[in-house]
Amino acid sequence: MKTRFLCQNQLPEFLKILQLFGELHGPTVTDAGVTAFAALEDPSALRLDYQRTQIPPKKYLIPFREELLQYRDDTYHQNEIKAPEIVLFGVHSCDLEGIAYLDLVFLGDRPDPCYSARRAGLTLVGISCEPDDFCFCNGSFETAPCDLFLTARQDGFELSVSSAKGEAIASAAQHLLTEVQPFPQTERPTCPIRPQDPELRFSENPLWDKFARTCVSCGACSVCCPTCYCFDVREYPSLSGGGSRLREWDNCLFATHGEVAGGNFRPTRLERLRFRFLHKYCGFTPLDGMTSCVGCGRCKQLCPVDIDLREIIDTQPKTTPELP
């Protein structure tokens, strides 16, 4: 069986084909110097050598703030959801796994209409990556869910199609592709997340206290996490009589998260840190037992006080993965 191959020098033409399927977005560097997924009006702004963006692609599916309902004429109305067709190019497998997890949450029982509309308009083109010191994914990038996946090979990319949409793109780009012999599978260095020892969750591990003493509850680790999706719902009346109900990203590290009338169920940083860890690594109803950490390394890279949860995860001494 042959495999389809895209030569490096055909990439600009390939991106033009992708633009036929929607607005092209991909990793780039903003004017502020931040690596981010953004619209690529000029495809030469694409930075495929990136390690990770600051904000994961969840922003395409769950905007930081979105209107759920409008209140007018004595009733609440759901507005028509306008979801643009977007081709998100150059997504690493960890972020693809993150989207797969969000799909389970938002498209499972009682699908979320806003998420569903945005997800339907999103075409995902994944790309292989080279891990750095912050990465700790399980390296199963062949199985990462997407429409099309590009594995970097010498002088180009090997294409793997995994959906009808992906096949449509590959067909449209047929003239840019060549058929080659399949590449031998390469071993990828991994630093997988080890299965959790339940005792660790609320154990007396002194590391928890150490983390809690340094944590500033800034919430950066949740904001940059590809699978954190907590939200708050707020209602804003308008002066003209109506109003709108919005949902916004929320953060379980904020003291307000566990508040109830007259109390707080997670008043200390220690409790909130443990709660986040518990949810991330041991799952939640109905995804109990499912680790949602994809090992992208953002939380470790962005933490202002260098908290590294891997210290707790790794019961054995940490080994640095060997780079190829």
Binding site for other proteins (CB under 8 A): 68-69, 71, 74-78, 105-106, 109-113, 116, 202, 229-235, 237, 243, 245, 247, 250, 252, 257-263, 265-266, 271, 275, 278-279, 282-286, 288
Give the separation between CA 77 and CA 109, rounded to whole angstroms.
Answer: 22
Q: How far is the CB of 208 from other proteins (least distance, A)?
A: 13
- Count the helix, strand and coil residues of the chain and give each as a percent rounded to the nearest 5: 30, 25, 45
Given the complex with other proteins, which of 243 and 321 has the nearer CB atom? Answer: 243
Given the complex with other proteins, which of 11 and 230 has the nearer CB atom? Answer: 230
Given the complex with other proteins, which of 68 and 313 has the nearer CB atom? Answer: 68
Given the complex with other proteins, which of 92 and 257 has the nearer CB atom? Answer: 257
Structure tokens belonging to residue 170:
């590959």
Given the complex with other proteins, which of 44 and 75 has the nearer CB atom? Answer: 75
Q: How far is the CB of 178 from other proteins (least distance, A)?
A: 44
Distance from chain centroid for Cα 166: 20
Give the separation between CA 256 and CA 267, rounded to whole angstroms.
Answer: 8
Instruction: Answer yes or no: are the C-beta atoms of 142 and 127 closer than 8 Å.
Output: no
Instruction: Identify the three-state secondary structure at position 264.
Output: strand
Q: How far is the CB of 73 from other proteins (least distance, A)?
A: 10
**φ, ψ (nearest 5 deg) of residue 156:** 170, -160
Q: How far is the CB of 267 from other proteins (least distance, A)?
A: 10
Q: How far is the CB of 206 from other proteins (least distance, A)?
A: 18
Structure tokens belonging to residue 176:
């840019």
* Residues whose CB falls within 8 Å of the CB of residue 242, separated by 6 or more in sequence, listed in order: 70, 71, 72
